[in-house]
Amino acid sequence: MALRSRITGIGSYLPPQVVTNDDLTEFMDTSDEWITQRTGIKQRHWVDSAGVTTSDLALEAAREAMAMAGVEAGDLDMIFLATISPDHFFPGTAVFLQRKLGAPGIPAIDVRQQCTGFIYGTSMADQYIRTGMAERVLVVGAEIHSKGLDISTEGRDVAVLFGDGAGAMVLEAADITDPATERHILSTHLHADGTYAEDLWVPAPGMAVGTRMVTHDIVDRKLVYPKMNGRNVYVHAVKRMPEAIRESLDANGVQLDEVDLFVFHQANLRINEAVAQRMGIPPEKVYNTIEQFANTTAATIPIGLAEAAKEGRLKPGMMVSSTAFGSGFTWASMLYRW
C-alpha cells in the first residue's frame, strides 16, 4: 500500500465575454489570418468589468471542482493558486480565494511559475499528500491577462496570444495497492533555467528597475507590459516539452502508446503540433483548447481537463500526460491515471 494523490474533481471557468481575432483589429493592426496561421487562436475570453478579479475566476472554477469531488471548503487542508496576474502585489491571491471559499486557517500558497505553475502547484500538493501531511488539496490556475496587455499595434505580438480564465483540481489521498491500474498521479517532474528569464517577462513594477518601484518613466517606457522573444520561446518549448514527457514515461516504465490523452499547456497550436510530431504522438490523442480560449497561462491544463471531461474525451481510468513550458524558463510534466 502506498499513499498517493487521486484527482477527484475538476472545474473550469471562462468569463462570458468572447473577443474574436476580428474584434482585436479595432485596437491594433492585426488580422484573423496572421493570428490563426501562427498560433491557431480564433478567439479568447476577456473579463468585461473592472470589478472582476483573478480570485473571482478562481472561485468559480474551484466551486465546480469541489462540487464534483463532493468536498466542502471546511474539508480542504491546503490551497495552491498558480497565477501571474495576481489580485494585488501582496498578499498573494490564494488568500483572497481562501476568504471567498470560506476556508480560514489552512495554508493558502501562491505559485509563481507562469505557464508551468499548475504542474508546479500539483507537484507540491502531491508531495504533501504522499507524506501524509494533507488529505485534500485544492490546486487552481487562474489568470486575468486582458487588464495587463499592451492592446495596441506596438504590443500586438503578445496581446493576441493571451486569454482570461481559471481551472481547478481537487486532489485527495488514496491508499494504492495496484499502481498499474488504480487512479492516481504517478509522478511529476519540474525544471527551470533562469538563463532565459528575460525572454518572456514583465520587467516592472519590481525592485530591480530604478530607485522607486513605480514611476511615470516606467509606465511611459511600457515596462509594465509582457515582453517576449517569441522565436526563442518556440525553440526551447519544442525541445523541453518532449524531454519532460519522456522523463515521466521513463520514470514509470510506461510506453508512449499506453498514454490515452495528452493535455498540454496551450501556448501556441504550432508548438503542440511540433511536440506531437517530434514524439510520434497521433494528433487525435492531443486535446487542444487554444482555438477557443488562447493562452490562459497557469489555467490551460485544468481548463483542458475540465473541457475534455465534459466532452467525454477524458474518461475515468485513462492514462494522461501533461506538460508545460513557459516564462522562467520553466518546464514540467506529470503522468496520471484519470
Judged by the rule CB under 6 A, the positions of this chain that interact with ligand UT7 are 30, 34-35, 38-39, 115, 156-157, 160-161, 230-231, 233-234, 267-268, 270, 295, 326
Residue 32 beta carbon to ligand UT7: minimum distance, rounded to whole angstroms: 10
Residue 38 beta carbon to ligand UT7: minimum distance, rounded to whole angstroms: 4
The length of the chain, given as a count of residues: 338
Identity of the residue, 65 or 82, whose beta carbon is nearer to ligand UT7 in the bound complex: 82
Distance in angstroms (rounded) separating the CA atoms of residues 328 and 80: 19
Residue 31's CB is within 10 A of a number of other CB atoms, namely 13
Identity of the residue, 196 or 234, whose beta carbon is nearer to ligand UT7 in the bound complex: 234
**DSSP states of 187-198 as a string?**
EEEEEE-GGGGG
Whether 268 is catalytic: no
- Cα–Cα nearest to 89, from 215, 3, 213: 213
Query: Which residue is nearest to ligand UT7, using beta carbons?
Result: 230
At residue 278, φ and ψ (nearest 5 deg) are: -60, -35
Identity of the residue, 34 or 89, whose beta carbon is nearer to ligand UT7 in the bound complex: 34
Whether 288 is catalytic: no
Contact 163, 145 (CB under 8 A): yes
Distance in angstroms (rounded) separating the CA atoms of residues 325 and 239: 10
Residue of 265, 268, 272, 288 marked active site: 265
Residue 9 beta carbon to ligand UT7: minimum distance, rounded to whole angstroms: 27
Torsion angle of the four alpha carbons 192, 194, 195, 196, in this order, in degrees rounded to the nearest 10:
90
Residue of 21, 268, 272, 295 marked active site: 295
Whether 232 is catalytic: no
Residue of 21, 45, 115, 145 marked active site: 115
Identity of the residue, 8 or 297, whose beta carbon is nearer to ligand UT7 in the bound complex: 297
Residue 117's CB is within 10 A of a number of other CB atoms, namely 33
Residue 233 beta carbon to ligand UT7: minimum distance, rounded to whole angstroms: 4
Residue 161 beta carbon to ligand UT7: minimum distance, rounded to whole angstroms: 5
CA 64 from centroid of its chain's CA atoms: 17
Identity of the residue, 151 or 166, whose beta carbon is nearer to ligand UT7 in the bound complex: 151
Amino acid at 201: W
Residues tagged active-site: 115, 265, 295
